[in-house]
Amino acid sequence: MKTLNLETAAAFLFVSEYTLQELAASGTVPGAKIGKCWVFTDEDLETYVRDEVRRQTAERRGVKLSAPSPAPIPTAFTRSVRRKAMTPPPLR
């Protein structure tokens, strides 16, 4: 397993860094935000591309897919944590 940063993962998928960041934040593409940086695994990205190719091909053919690929095993790299927004205390 090889880990990729946002820039490398975006190049791997041929999308912009902004697009990949949005896909990861929405949970469409598996990734983890560690501190301020996004981290992806090459295996998760390959699975994502493979599933998208199958889904889009079936959609063009008008065929319904029987079952998606099995979900990846949860790891530290596939879970993202979003912090709760904090509001500052009122001024006196």
14 belongs to a structural domain: yes
89 belongs to a structural domain: no
Average pLDDT in the 46-68 region? 87
Rounded to two decimals, the pTM is 0.66
78 belongs to a structural domain: no
Quick check: 9 and 37 in contact, CB under 8 A? no
* Percent with pLDDT over 70 in the chain: 79
Residue with tokens 């709760």: 84
What's the CATH number where 14 sits? Answer: 1.10.1660
Q: Which residues contact 81 (CB under 8 A, 6 or more apart)?
A: 33
- What tokens appear for 85 in the block? 């927004």
- What tokens appear for 92 in the block? 């006196």
Return the ∠ at Cα 40 (arms to 14 and 27), rounded to 5°.
85
Residue with tokens 């960041």: 21
Model confidence pLDDT, tens digit, residues 8-53: 999 999 999 999 999 999 999 999 999 999 999 999 999 999 999 9
| pLDDT recorded at residue 91 | 83
88 belongs to a structural domain: no
68 belongs to a structural domain: no
